[in-house]
Amino acid sequence: MKTSGPQPLEAHLQQTAKVLSEALPYMRRFAGQTMVIKYGGHAMGDEALAEQFARDVVLIKQVGINPIVVHGGGPQIGAMLERLKIKSEFVDGLRVTDQSTVEIVEMVLAGSINKQIVTAIGAAGGIGIGISGKDGKLIEARKLRRSVRDPGSNIEKLLDLGFVGEPVRINPDILRTLQSSNVIPVVAPIGVGEQGETYNINADTSAGAIAAAVGASKLLMLTDVPGVLNKEKKLIPTLTAKEALMLMGDGTISGGMIPKVETCLEAVRGGVQAAHILDGRIPHVLLLELFTAHGVGTMIERTP
């Protein structure tokens, strides 16, 4: 007795063809453009997701888009500090970084993590080159200054976060040189000060600053959350910069999402066309966001 309709293999092949067909217009639209990808969170710690991420970045490069990967590594830094019995504390989500800590931070970020990502890209058929913000003075930085108000005296106190920095200047020439070849730059967020000091810089902040400096069309930030949620905890697919500011003002955007959205806003103010907050735990999240009609995260667009 004959069965009607496509068989499982045929249905799978038809679905694959449909996906490729849907992706083609987006591949053509984005060809030649630069995209900065902030890579961190759970996706970095999951071996299968890390392998998929590398393959997806290589595919993005293969279709004519120029990706720049900027990575974090907080959990790995914490694990190494614990192994070496070096205590560290956090203030407002930032690791207080003394001289001994910043040496470990640089070793982990510019060393083991950076080379793991480069190796994964190579295994996927791409050419990754690992650099830090100190190479070619890519990220010139200064000491980050934060203050807190004492609840008792109402006096503001300046916090000393040690060698925690913020970008003051991005020198993108080295990235442009790499991109003119078939190379995918992988950047560790370490900055260099005026006197050659090493600064630990937040990876989100570094990615946003680099995206603006290189004239990227998109900033893609991989996180451990679906994106920006409304008061009913449902995903907001698209926001203008003005709408994002309103949601921060009324408390809809709160907690750890605030600095991520602020980074996106800084990027679009700096000329980036759109910034995306994506759930890095979703397999092939970059491809789903870039090459499908609906995407999977929150896109923040520049306000006209």
Residue 13 forms part of a structural domain: no
Q: Which of 169-173, 190-194, 274-278, 293-297 has the lowest mean pLDDT?
A: 293-297
What is the count of structural domains for the chain? 1
Q: Which tens digit of pLDDT belongs to each residue from 62-102?
A: 999 999 999 998 888 888 888 888 877 777 667 777 888 88
Model confidence at 1, pLDDT cuts 50, 70, 90, reads: very low
For 248, the token pair is 């921060």
DSSP element (H, E) containing 178: helix 173-179
Q: Is the pLDDT of residue 195 over 60?
A: yes
Q: Which tens digit of pLDDT belongs to each residue from 104-141?
A: 999 999 999 999 999 999 999 999 999 999 999 999 99
Residue 288 forms part of a structural domain: yes
pLDDT, residue 92, reads: 67
Three-state DSSP class for residue 95: strand
Model confidence at 165, pLDDT cuts 50, 70, 90, reads: very high
For Cα atoms 171, 109, 270, give the angle at the middle one, nearest 5 degrees. Answer: 35
Name the percent of the chain lying above pLDDT 90: 61
pLDDT, residue 148, reads: 61
Q: What is the 3-state secondary structure (H, E, C) of 47-74?
A: HHHHHHHHHHHHHHHHCCCEEEEEECCH
Residue 11 forms part of a structural domain: no
pLDDT, residue 110, reads: 92
pLDDT, residue 153, reads: 59
Residue 294 forms part of a structural domain: yes
Q: What is the span of the domain harbouring residue 116?
A: 32-301
pLDDT mean over 281-304: 87
Answer with the residue of higher pLDDT: 185 or 145: 185
User: How many other CB atoms are found less than 10 A from the CB of residue 292?
Assistant: 13
Q: Cα separation of 263 and 26, whole Å? A: 25
Q: Is the pLDDT of residue 8 over 80?
A: no
pLDDT, residue 21, reads: 78
Residue 63 forms part of a structural domain: yes
Model confidence at 155, pLDDT cuts 50, 70, 90, reads: low
DSSP, res 99: H
Q: What is the CATH number of the domain that holds 110?
A: 3.40.1160.10
Residue 128 forms part of a structural domain: yes
Residue 27 forms part of a structural domain: no
Answer with the residue of higher pLDDT: 8 or 60: 60
Strands 298-301, 238-240: parallel, antiparallel or unpaired by DSSP? parallel
Q: Is the pLDDT of residue 190 over 90?
A: yes
Answer with the residue of higher pLDDT: 256 or 260: 260
Q: Cα separation of 148 and 294, whole Å? A: 42
Residue 18 forms part of a structural domain: no
